[in-house]
Structure 1
Amino acid sequence: MGPPRRAEDRSQPIAEIDVLWITAGLGCDGDTIAMTAAMQPSIEDIVMGALPWIPKVRFHNPFLALENGEEFVKAFHLAAEGKLQPFMLVLEGSVPDEGNKDEGYWASMGTDRTTGQPITTCEWIDRLAPKAWAVIAAGTCATYGGIHAMEGNPTGCMGLPDYLGWGWRSKAGIPIVCVPGCPVQPDNFMETLLYLLNMAAGRAPMIPLDDALRPAWLFGSTLHEGCDRGGYYEQAQFAEEYGSPLCIVKLGCWGPVVQCNVGKRGWMGGIGGCPNVGGICIGCTMPGFPDKFMPFMDQPPGSLLSSAAVQTYGRAIQALRRFTQASLNKEPSWRNRRNSAETRGDA
């Protein structure tokens, strides 16, 4: 890919930028659909210029575009030829291994003007990534391979960091930005895009990423730490069946160890999110998903020890809290003077 450009490449504010979104990886378009539910900011806010100070954005997503066929792919060809600058590249879906078979291809978008053959997703990445101002992997398939990268899959697919390299940098010196989720939490993706747009405008420092290339401020805490069922865990109150409001770790929830903010952020407009609506966490924001979290709906091995350890503490603290609660549910004696006076008079 060539040596990374120096930081000075980001020193000049960008006034206009194209966002080229490829959904031709192995995926389901779920991340695109999820993004349409974002509100902080919404995609409409970005493309209609409702937010001050960020560059003007031209958005190219095959699922949402009015153009189709060659008219839609034209922007991608221009970018590959170096005639469309600057641009961000967004990949949705995992990257297949196009070299693990004798014929055919796994995924493609558009047709090569010279050969008349389909242009594979890998070819588009090879053509566009070196010229992109920044590269974003949207959803768990694009970030770490996801469902399609399970052991034994015939496609040999992988996430974008495994394809380009975990130390890869864009022409502006920006690492691959991974926003996982199956699908991606809507506001997580749009907030990340907004951060990069503020970077492009010269109004934000280098985006802070963790070791898995995730935005650090979004994935710095576990799901459990923001879960509205966390108090039940502390009190050793565990659900035995679905539909219960209690902690669902015994039903297979991996929330105590999975880095995800959906419990606190919700899904759309602060509403929803897996544990908030009774769904167990299966670890979809983690690089080890899905293999290391299977079989789904079995109690995680680590929770057997942790839930057993919390039983003694939880039951004791729950009894003490009930005692205190009973006391606090009664008014102080000096407030009930009338009844006290009547009682003294009767005496």
Structure 2
Amino acid sequence: MTIDSGTHDVATEPSRAEAREGFDEITILWISEGMSCDGDSVSFTAAGQPAIEDLVLGLIPGLPKVNLHNKVLSPSLGGEDFLAPYRAALRGEIAPFILVIEGSIPNQKIIEGDGYWTSFGNDPETGEPLTLNWWIDRLAPKAWAVVAAGTCATYGGIHAMAGNPTGCMGLADYLGWDFTSQGGLPIVNVPGCPIQPENFMETLVWVLYHAAGSAPPPPLDQMLRPQWLFGKTVHEGCDRAAYYEQADFARDYNSPKCQVKVGCWGPVVNCNVPKRGWMAGIGGCPNVGGICIGCTMPGFPDAFMPFMDEPPGGSFSTLMVKPYGAFVRRMRGITNAVVNREPKWHHNKPVLTSGYDPHWRP
């Protein structure tokens, strides 16, 4: 780089990524009035890397100041006091904000004029309940980012299963899979029934760093899930996976072996719980003897029912691996026996038998 009259020669200056302006403060408006059990709100309070307390107290370097509004954690008096920031966001008085939706979205059109499926506060003028759909229609277009928390919000979940009367769906089904927020982001889906606490907080922190201007958008897969969290299967991270390879399968739920034949869908389900655990790295379905029923998947629950039955492909896949697994298990058993013996020169006799040969010395 050359210097001329105290200024840099632009032609020879190294290229740099263009800095993007970020926000110093952002609001999170969390609505859990979708068809749900509020389990996702409860679950994310168990996060520790980081904890929600660290987030709202500003203890994470580089993040904007976060104003969180969630009914489970709200110190408000409830009612209109709790609804105040949501109404302010409608009026354009709060920006930027991240809209988090918990619970599946019912189809209000099928009962238009004949009641409602779920509501969030009342219309101040008429006193009539305001539906979840009403709020989403007005807040989502104004939101800097939109996050769906839990399988109900991402793909419909339990309430959207076959035969339901509500016409429930996931948030992307409702807003459209090509929806883009004010921040230029698609909907960010974090599935789980409920969400794994660290998965949600890690994703939220990434979105917040992006809002601060210090990180790129979070990479999402074709189902709008964070790629780094849902890019591998349960089976790939499961402590029991080696038993599958050796065709050593559990026949009951007290066994430490692979549980495919007793109903586990782990080989085809995108989820990192076996590797991450549930709280503080502890727990997680297969880690504690539970089968994977596919609760993070778009096809849940219909595609995985009846629970506890061997998956349709389980019989064929376990049959195919059986001769290979039996042979490998036998060969490994032989090798294990060999390497479990100490070398023959480990003895207290007056002669050295280790094979030591000093021929290289002058």
- When normalised by structure 2's length, the TM-score is 0.90
The answer to whether residue 120 in structure 2 is matched with residue 109 in structure 1 is: yes
Q: Work out whether 1:267 is the aligned partner of 2:278.
A: yes
Aligned match of 2:34 = 25
User: Is 1:46 paired with 2:64?
Assistant: no
Structure 2: how far apart are the matches of 1:19 and 1:54? 13
Instruction: Please report how far the alpha carbon of residue 11 of structure 1 lies from its aligned counterpart in structure 2 after TM superposition.
Output: 3.3
> Is 1:197–2:208 an aligned residue pair?
yes
What is the DSSP-based 3-state SS (H/G/I as helix, E as strand, rest coil) of the residue aligned with 2:292?
coil
Q: Tell me the residue number matched to 2:144.
A: 133
Q: Give the unaligned 5+ runs of structure 2.
A: 1-18, 353-362
Deviation at 1:260, TM superposition (A): 0.2
AA matched with 2:165: P
1:118-157 CA-to-partner distances (Å, cap 9, x unmatched) read 1110001011000000000000000000000011101111
Partner of 2:158: 147
Q: What aligned pairs does 1:161-310 form with structure 2 within 5 A after superposition?
A: 161-310=172-321
Distance in 2 (CA, whole Å) between partners of 1:84 and 1:336 is 79
Distance 1:326 1:339 in 2: 28
Identity of aligned residues (%): 61
Q: Distance in 2 between matches of 1:340 and 1:110?
A: 90
SS of 2:230's partner is coil
Residue type of the alignment partner of 1:251: V
By how many angstroms is 1:197 displaced? 0.5
Q: Secondary structure at the match of 1:301?
A: coil
Question: Would you say 1:74 and 2:84 are equivalent positions?
Answer: yes
The equivalent of 1:5 in structure 2 is none
Cα distance change, pair 339–280 in 1 and its aligned pair in 2 (3 A): farther
Q: Which residue of 2 aligns with 1:95?
A: 105
Tell me whether 277-286 or 101-110 shows the greater mean CA deviation: 101-110
1:320 aligns to 2:331 (yes or no): yes
Q: Equivalents in 1 of 2:22, 2:219: separation in Å?
A: 19
Q: After TM superposition, give the deviation of residue 339 of structure 1 in Å.
A: 9.4
What is the CA–CA distance in structure 1 between the aligned matches of 2:174 and 2:53, rounded to whole Å?
31
RMSD between superposed Cα atoms in Å: 1.3
Partners of 1:36 and 1:285 in 2: CA distance = 19
How far the C-alpha of 1:306 sits from its partner, in A, is 1.0
How many Å apart are 1:217 and its aligned residue? 0.4
Which whole-Å CA distance do the structure 2 matches of 1:236 and 1:37 have between them? 36
SS at match of 2:335: helix
Hey, what's the Cα distance between the residues in 1 that align with 2:182 and 2:175?
13
The Cα of 1:116 is off from its aligned counterpart by 1.4
Number of matched residues?
Answer: 332
Partner of 1:4: none
Distance in 1 between the 2:99 and 2:278 partners?
25
Which entry has the higher C-alpha Rg, 1 or 2?
Answer: 2
What is the rounded CA distance, in whole Å, between the counterparts of 1:336 and 1:235 in structure 2?
36
TM normalised by structure 1 equals 0.94
Task: State the distance in 2 between where 1:261 and 1:177 align.
Answer: 17
1: CA distance between counterparts of 2:256 and 2:41?
A: 31
SS of residue paired to 2:268: coil
Relative to structure 1, the CA distance from residue 233 to residue 104 in structure 2 (aligned partners, 3 Å threshold; closer, same or farther) is same
Give the match's secondary structure for 1:217. Answer: helix
Runs of 4+ in 1 over 6 A off after TM superposition: none
Q: Distance in 2 between matches of 1:28 and 1:78?
A: 27
Distance in 1 between the 2:137 and 2:158 partners?
23
3-state SS, counterpart of residue 349 of structure 2: helix
Shift of 1:337: 4.3
Letter in 2 for 1:64: L
- List alignment gaps of at least 5 residues for structure 1: 1-9, 342-347
Deviations 1:192-217 (A, max 9, x none): 00000000111111210000000000
Q: Which amino acid aligns with 1:208?
A: P
Q: Deviations over 1:238-285 (max 9, x none)?
A: 000111100001011000000000010000000000000011101011
Report the AA paired with residue 227 of structure 1. Answer: C
Question: For 1:86, which of 96, 102, 106 is the aligned residue?
Answer: 96
